[in-house]
Structures are given as C-alpha cells and as structure tokens.
Amino acid sequence: ALGAGGRSYLGNLHYCSPWSSNLQTSRKIIQAFIDSPDKTVIHHGYLLPPDEMKRRFIIKNLFFWQGLSLSDYQQYFASDALRDFPDLERFIQQGYCYQNGSRLRLTETGMALSDCLAPVFVSPEVMLRENRQR
C-alpha cells in the first residue's frame, strides 16, 4: 500500500494508507510516509471475513476486461456468485454485463458505468470503516 490512499491485500488482510482529497493534507500524508523509519508497519487494516472476501473477488474480477469467472468463484468459495449477489443478475438484465459460458463480462455500457456499479458490492461495514479513516 504505497502512497496516499494506496491499498493492498495479503490473503484475507486488507490494509491501506491514509488518503485525502485535500492537497495540503495529502502532502502531509506523503511526508509522514517518507519520514517513517519502518515502511512495513500497517497502521490501517483489518482481516476480511468470508463475505468480504467474496465481495473483493467480485470487484477485483468483474470490473476488469477478462471479467468474473463464475467457475473460479465456485471453486474458491464453494458457492454460486449469482446466488450470493443477486445484483449480478440485475446487471445482466439491465445490460451492464453478460454471461459467456462460465464468465461474466461488462458490456460497453457497464464498463463506462463501472465506477458507479462497483460500489454496489462494497458492504456497509467497509464503507463505514473507510469513512472513519478520512
């Protein structure tokens, strides 16, 4: 998680660097990172429960060009992504994504709206945690 707002995952550990949309605050965050003697210390992080791991899998796959492998999801979580996240079916019906075999891919419209669609999969708990860190 390098830089202001950087985030990383290590297994089920999610950690991030503080961030700000304010230029002056961002500069302070960057300077604090530069001045820190130990860059390996994690100040902002938490262990993801299984539901959050599923959400992360959806976000990190569906919103990239190759899309979400439903079979990989099934193998990894022993669960059905379409059943776990009914919004995926809704996205298909609304033309934001399509199913091709065992893969879901965004349509051109879905890709254009991906910044608006992805937050659907962010849980209220994660939103609350992120808002507290601002």
User: 101-124 in b/e burial notation, b at 16+ Cβ within 10 A?
Assistant: eebbbbeeebbeebeebeeebeee
Helix (H, G, I), strand (E, B) or coil at 42: coil
pLDDT in tens, 9-47: 677 876 777 767 788 887 887 888 788 888 777 777 778
8 DSSP β-pair partners: 15
Q: Which pLDDT score is estimated for 133? A: 58
Segment (H or E) for 87: helix 87-93
Query: DSSP E strands: which ranges in 13-126?
Result: 13-16, 45-47, 68-69, 97-100, 103-106
Domain boundaries, the chain: 7-47, 50-121
pTM of the model: 0.74
φ/ψ of residue 100, rounded to 5: -125, 100
Intervals of the chain under pLDDT 70: 1-7, 9, 14, 19, 133-134
Q: Which pLDDT score is estimated for 54? A: 96
User: Which CATH code fits 50-121?
Assistant: 1.10.10
Distance CA 1, CA 16 (A): 5
Distance CA 1, CA 8 (A): 5
Q: Which pLDDT score is estimated for 61? A: 95
Q: Which pLDDT score is estimated for 29? A: 78
